Amino acid sequence: MPRTKTTGAAKTSRKKPAAAPAPHYLLRLYVTGTTRRSARAIQNIKMICEEQLQGRYDLEVIDIYQQPSLAQGEQIVAVPTLIKKLPLPVRRLIGDLSDENHVLLGLDLRRADPGR
């Protein structure tokens, strides 16, 4: 049986592990009809989703006047309310979603600034 001689150090693979695929977001926004506040919340969350989650989200807008049973099932007590169903953990954000930093924190897209 012939001997194989190697010289130098054994080569090790330095490949970076494959990055995990970015999570897909399932969001539900509960609103009350076509009020100014509801319209603002819809506009704000759509803008944030297109900037931060392009192609990685499903957004359901639910008018609790038209589908009150859905709001009751989710125990909605204030509107507009955004619920992040996926990825876990479930989060709830109340208001017109105009504070982009607060929304990004709530969606786990930005970490809290420890200096604040």
Measured in whole angstroms, how far is the alpha carbon of residue 101 from the centre of its chain?
13
Residue 26 has pLDDT above 90, yes or no: yes
More confident residue, 21 or 5: 21
Task: Enumerate the H helices of 1-116 as residue ranges.
Answer: 36-52, 68-73, 100-106
Least confident of 6-10, 34-38, 52-56: 6-10
Mean pLDDT over residues 88-111, rounded?
A: 95
pLDDT band at 15; cut points 50, 70, 90 = low
Supply the pTM of this predicted model: 0.79
- Among candidates 30, 58, 36, which has minimal Cα distance to 46? 58
Superfamily the domain 25-106 falls into: Glutaredoxin (3.40.30.10)
- CB under 8 Å to 68, separation ≥6 — which residues? none
Tell the residue number behind the tokens 């809290």, with chain if given: 112
Domain ranges for the chain: 25-106
